[in-house]
Amino acid sequence: MDVHLLTYDLSRGLARQMSQGMLGFHLDAIYHTSIQLNGREYVYDGGIVDITPGTSHLGQPMERIFLGKTELPMEVIEEFLDSLRPIFTAEAYDLWRHNCNNFSDSFSQFLLGKGIPEHIIKMPDAVLSSPMGRMLMPQLNQVINSNRQNGSILGIQNNSTPPGYGSAPQPTKPQSNIRIVSSSQELDAALESARKSCAVVLFTSATCPPCRAISPIFDEVSAEAGSKATFIKVDVAQLTPLPGKDYPRATPTFITYLHGEKENEWAGADPAALRGNVQLLLQMAWPRHPHESLKLPSFSNPNAKPVLFSKVPPLAKLLGKMGSAADESAVQATKQFIEARDKQGAAAAVLPNLGEFSGFLQKSVQTLPVEILFTIVDLFRCALVDARFSGYFAEEKGHTTVLAILRLVNSHSDCPYALRLVTLQMACNFFSTPLFPEEILRNETLRAPVIQLISSSFLDDSHNNVRVSASSLMFNLALFSNKVRREKPGDVLPDGDAVELAASVLEAIGQEESSPEALQGMLLALGNLVYCTPSDSEVSDLLRAMDAEDTILAKKKQFPDEKIIVEVGSELLGKGLRRPLGVDTVKEVPSLVWRHCPGNSAPPAFLPIGQPSKQARPPRVGMWASQRQRYHAIFEELKQTLCGLSLDHRLLPPAVYEMPALYSSASTPSLRSHDGPVRMDGGGNVRVVVRVRAFLPREIERGAECLVEMDPITQQTTLLVPNDSDPANAKAKTRKVIEEKNFTFDNSFWSHDLSDKYYAHQEDVYNSLGEEFLDHNFEGYHTCIFAYGQTGSGKSYTMMGTPDQPGLIPRTCEDLFERIESAQNETPNISYNVRVSYFEVYNEHVRDLLVPVVANQPPYYLKIRESPTEGPYVKDLTEVPVRNLNEILRYMTMGDRSRTVASTRMNDTSSRSHAVFTIMLKQIHHDMETDETTERSSRIRLVDLAGSERAKATEATGQRLREGSNINKSLTTLGRVIGALADAKAGSRKRSKDVVPYRDSILTWLLKDSLGGNSKTAMIACIAPSDYEETLSTLRYADQAKRIRTRAVVNQDQISSAERDAQIAAMADEIRALQLSVSESRRREKDTKDQEEKLEEYQNHVATMQRMMEERSLVAEGKIRSLQTENEALRLHLKLALESLKNPIPAVTIKPPEAEEVEDEAQRAKSAGLEGKEENGEDAESLYDDSDDAAYDSDVMEDNASDMQEYMRSLLSDLGMFRRKIGDDKERWVGEAPSAGSKMNF
């Protein structure tokens, strides 16, 4: 196939025009690249997608570069792309280091061994080297991050492949593998290719509308089956049949082939039939392996991962040991790749030139010494962890690089420890891609040295790490072989290689004594090699011959903590390799014994177990019935003979009267004899009857065969061996059912063939069961009848019936009121009270069916409570009184309309809940002679259980699947309860199980009294005539229920006239006391109301006073603050006055000078000025002379002092009054608060 590189310019020419000015260098384009291969364009855009070339919004590519041709098949290429999806995700996209160009380069290296042009890869680095590029980097990253939220960077839509890891999930449709043929030769060739598995052929026509309708379903089923089956589509108009071959002409027609032989054929566009038949075909072609039923948790996980050695050593030290080889460009590039992957992740690691590195490895193997070659191999090991790296070498032509290393190591018997160890770890890392293990298992040239490396490494008893690595490599190889073995028939690992590996690892296990890690790895490797292998394979025979089980279990002494020893030794090799037990031939019945059986002249020919007869099965109807009639005739003759020989029948042994009874292996004596019904006393076993329905239309269409026979005399039910051709009994075929199953019940109702004289109608069922149980109700016993069986087995028909054929419940109601009406006419002193309730248990919730359903409102579920006397009951359940048949039928119809039903593949009107219809009957009889009253209370509980179902058979999904799960859960719990109740100790009435799990399910909790308490109970087992597995399960279920014993008692109270009068008087006194109590309560209520009104009034008054006090308090606080301010001012004034008294300032009086004195003064000043120059430093004369004291007036001073003292006395007087005023105000305002508070508390 040609490989082309498509290049696009995201700038649409702007880069070429403006790059020189903005970046400083010329740039031809902003490159976006993709790889074109096989008519598809592969591109990395938020994930690996493939589109039609040139159909994206980018338009046509700017350039289409031819890279070369590849010979790899598309399957290998697709697997490689799948391995790259975890690396190239939307989250890992980096515009500068991990972009579409890096993907194109990795893809090109895998396809051709060379990458894309270097200038495209280095274009982002060139842009970042410029200032403008670094400046634009944050804005561009922001745009990429915003686009990343949509799962796509450039908006390229994927129209073919599923989204990659990390991208937004999108619904995908698997590819179908339908082969279109137009000739008989092509059809034969296609069927021959499917001889090892199976094939489905559709004969269709282009002009057939049903064919066009079923064709998409056929494609979908083909895609779901995958490679497990071959799907072929044939156009009958184009098909030319060969002589001797007759192909169907009706369309659409389907024919299935199993291992080359025709298996089934049907016509019609029925999707359910198509899916069911194909699913059955796949189960027959791919049967479940016996190992899958063993307890093997270490090997049953299909998603187990291989062992990889990803630890990176110090690369600088590693390259230092290489010597001059470390300077090679291939080594440096690989070193950078490993470092980037280890530190930043696979997305940040850019692949080196793999072709150059491959050449370097091959050259190093030939030239470097063995002592330092381990450094090269270790570097190779670190790089192989990446799927891109290992994928390239997996598809390398001739695998020259890998084979050179493996052959070198295998050729040295004394290979250095370091080289062997890193080579084993390198081989383990091959499994980082799914391509390498496929090549190893497919290519003998590559597989042989790998197996040789494993076997030789197990012999190294001096290095534990070598044995651990060898076991890891074998584990990886066996794990992949095991996965392929599960997906397609056969084994991709040849028997010779598997035997060599098994022998070497078993020998290594026997010699392992020191390393638990090595032992664990060997056991895991051996387990995966053996798991799900055919029991007759060479590996299985070898392990049996070498006594592998004992060899492994012997290691338990040396390694007691290793749990996997028991898992592999006991389970896998012990039970898993054990040949299936069987008898080659059945012991022949002596001819003499056989001839004593009436109607037989020669013994039959028996076949070995497991070998089905190739002849057509003879008709069964009537054959076994006639045989049983002959047996009964013999018994009757013997009985009559013994009775005739005896003088007294009491002398006969009891066995004579037990001869006609044929019991199953786990049965108990029946409650009904063969002559007539046996009345049930207070304590007895649960009554069990079985009823088989007629064929359904779908069973008639597939040609189903009745597998049930019933004997009307012995009431024995026989389940016949299923026919291999019926697809509904494929599971029974795999189990190799070879014998019939016999069961004996109280009644066997044959409702299969309407023309049969023993056909049991609805009336017959009621006359045999319902009528008797209604008698018990009138006697005062509680009764319960419930129907059990798979979905579509006729339970609802038996219990409810149809308008033309009413079932057990309507007939019980009708008979009830007929008896009441008749009894009232005959005995008018008996009064009857009838009440009914109707509820369903849906998804483990109880819903009242007599409450109308409100549209768009969630249903209201009731709660379960338990009374010490009455047992479990439904709280707030509606119980309505009914007076006649019409009313009870009206309520029943209303409940049926509210019941949850849905359509499934098994039943169009499948009940999705358990319905319980309960009739409460109370009889009050007053005896006029004795003046006594007798009251009887009884309960009729009629239960219509939802059918057990398998999701695979009903194809239920969503809500239907959840409903089916809850139905099966409750029925499973019912089975556990029945098993616990039936598990009685021999000769004792005590049960061996102390706890009966009633409370594990709502259904069993409500049926607690009916199953093991005060009730007479009957079970109707409804079975389908053609479904072997479900019918067998139901019959075993019913057979176990026969052993349950109940303890029913008559619910009756008898009261004399005196007791009745006393009770009436006591009730009258109680009524009066209640009336007084009610009156007193009302009076107290009225007084309480008055007190509440007064209290409310007081509270309002207190609130008003509180508001007033708060206001007055605010005013008082303002006055106090103003008075305090005045007080402070007066205090300062007083302080100043006191200071002036202590330090008085005398008054100064200045007298005017006389004229003579003025002149003298002037002269003296003049002379003083002249003398001052000589007397430097002397003080000038004072302004006043020594006679200034005479200038003070003493009278004035005394007057001033007197005035000041008088003024101070007045201030002190005012200050005292002010203080008293403040104290009075404070006492008045503060004193009012307690009085107000006491008033509030009142």
Q: DSSP per residue over 118-140, as a string?
A: HHHHTHHHHHHTSHHHHHHHHHH
My answer on whether 883 and 1022 are in the same domain is: yes
Q: State the CATH number of the domain containing residue 229.
A: 3.40.30.10
The answer to whether position 264 is within a domain reads yes
My answer on whether 464 and 364 are in the same domain is: no
pLDDT at position 1098: 84
The answer to whether position 460 is within a domain reads yes
pLDDT at position 427: 92
Q: How far apart are CA 230 and CA 190, in angstroms?
A: 8
- Listed ranges 306-310, 578-582, 1097-1101, 1222-1226; the one with the highest mean pLDDT: 306-310
Main-chain dihedrals φ then ψ at residue 234, nearest 5 degrees:
-125, 125
Number of domains in the chain: 7
Residue range 986-1012: mean pLDDT, rounded: 69
My answer on whether 884 and 976 are in the same domain is: yes
Has 791 been labeled as part of a binding site? yes
Has 792 been labeled as part of a binding site? yes
- Among 611-625, 747-761, 788-802, the minimum mean pLDDT is found in 611-625
- Among 606-610, 691-695, 965-969, 1186-1190, the minimum mean pLDDT is found in 606-610
Has 793 been labeled as part of a binding site? yes
Contact 1047, 1039 (CB under 8 A): no
Q: What is the pLDDT of residues 837-887, one digit of tens each?
A: 999 888 888 888 888 777 667 777 888 888 777 778 888 888 999 988 888
- Among 70-79, 304-313, 991-1000, 1107-1116, the minimum mean pLDDT is found in 991-1000
The answer to whether position 153 is within a domain reads no
Residue 668 pLDDT class (50, 70, 90 cuts): very low
pLDDT at position 636: 61
Beta bridge partners of 66: 4
- Listed ranges 591-595, 805-809, 1232-1236; the one with the highest mean pLDDT: 805-809
pLDDT at 426 over 90: yes
My answer on whether 519 and 447 are in the same domain is: yes
Percentage with pLDDT > 90 across the chain: 7
Give 546-601 as a 3 state SS string.
CCHHHHHHHHHCCCCCCCHHHHHHHHHHHHCCCCCCCCCCCCCCCHHHHHCCCCCC
* Cβ neighbour number for residue 889 with a 10 Å cutoff: 17
Tokens 């890690």 correspond to 517
Higher pLDDT, 4 or 289: 4
My answer on whether 744 and 857 are in the same domain is: yes
pLDDT at position 377: 92
Estimate to the nearest angstrom the gap between the alpha carbon of 796 and the chain centroid: 32
pLDDT at 423 over 90: yes
Rg of the chain (C-alpha set): 52
Residue range 443-462: mean pLDDT, rounded: 88
Tokens 């009904």 correspond to 672
Give the length of the chain: 1242
Q: Which of 7, 121, 93, 99 is CA-nearest to residue 53?
A: 7
Helix axes of 495-511 and 516-530: crossing angle, nearest 10 degrees: 150
pLDDT at position 1227: 66
Q: What is the average pLDDT score of the chain?
A: 75
My answer on whether 836 and 943 are in the same domain is: yes
The answer to whether position 503 is within a domain reads yes
Q: What is the pLDDT of residues 372-393, one digit of tens each?
A: 898 999 999 999 998 888 888 8
The residue from 233, 255, 287 where one domain ends is 287
Helix axes of 387-394 and 100-112: crossing angle, nearest 10 degrees: 20
My answer on whether 100 and 199 are in the same domain is: no
The residue from 148, 168, 202 where one domain ends is 148
My answer on whether 142 and 216 are in the same domain is: no
Has 796 been labeled as part of a binding site? yes
Estimate to the nearest angstrom the gap between the alpha carbon of 1100 and the chain centroid: 63
Q: State the CATH number of the domain containing residue 125.
A: 3.90.1720.30
Q: What is the pLDDT of residues 798-809, one digit of tens each?
A: 888 888 888 888
My answer on whether 917 and 828 are in the same domain is: yes
Q: What is the pLDDT of residues 292-316, one digit of tens each?
A: 778 888 887 777 889 999 888 988 8
pLDDT at position 1178: 43
pLDDT at 284 over 60: yes
pLDDT at position 836: 92
pLDDT at position 1186: 43
Residue range 77-82: mean pLDDT, rounded: 81
Q: How far is CA 741 from CA 210, 716, 719, 1199, in A?
A: 43, 10, 5, 148
Q: What is the pLDDT of residues 1141-1171, one digit of tens each?
A: 777 666 555 556 555 665 666 666 555 554 5
pLDDT at 1185 over 90: no
- Listed ranges 241-250, 430-439, 674-683, 723-732; the one with the highest mean pLDDT: 430-439
Higher pLDDT, 913 or 422: 422
pLDDT at position 528: 86
- Among 91-95, 386-390, 405-409, the minimum mean pLDDT is found in 91-95
Higher pLDDT, 961 or 943: 943
Q: What is the pLDDT of residues 114-156, one digit of tens each?
A: 888 887 877 777 776 676 666 666 656 655 565 555 555 565 6
Residue range 1137-1144: mean pLDDT, rounded: 74
Q: 3-state DSSP call for residue 1106?
A: helix
pLDDT at 482 over 90: no
pLDDT at position 678: 39
The answer to whether position 322 is within a domain reads yes
Higher pLDDT, 29 or 1240: 29
Domain that holds residue 1030: 683-1050
Residue 619 pLDDT class (50, 70, 90 cuts): very low
My answer on whether 107 and 142 are in the same domain is: yes
Percentage with pLDDT > 70 across the chain: 73
Q: State the CATH number of the domain containing residue 900.
A: 3.40.850.10
Q: How far is CA 867 from CA 872, 873, 920, 996, in A?
A: 6, 7, 17, 18
My answer on whether 798 and 931 are in the same domain is: yes
Q: How far is CA 1008 from CA 145, 809, 948, 1002, 1034, in A?
A: 64, 21, 20, 10, 21
Sequence-distant (6+) residues with CB within 8 A of 239 are 181, 182, 183, 184, 187, 203, 247
- Listed ranges 95-104, 695-704, 1143-1152; the one with the highest mean pLDDT: 695-704
The answer to whether position 784 is within a domain reads yes
The residue from 368, 384, 400 where one domain ends is 384
The answer to whether position 1090 is within a domain reads no
In terms of phi and psi (left: phi > 0; alpha: psi -120 to 50; beta: otherwise), the region of 268 is left
pLDDT at 1174 over 60: no
- Listed ranges 117-121, 180-184, 1049-1053; the one with the highest mean pLDDT: 180-184
pLDDT at 566 over 80: yes
My answer on whether 1104 and 1214 are in the same domain is: yes
Residue 473 pLDDT class (50, 70, 90 cuts): very high
* Cβ neighbour number for residue 303 with a 10 Å cutoff: 5
Higher pLDDT, 86 or 1025: 1025
pLDDT at position 948: 64
The answer to whether position 566 is within a domain reads yes
How many helices and strands (H and E) does the chain possess? 42, 30
Q: How far apart are CA 1067 and CA 1061, in angstroms?
A: 10
Q: How far apart are CA 627 and CA 597, in angstroms?
A: 9
pLDDT at position 652: 46
Residue range 647-668: mean pLDDT, rounded: 40
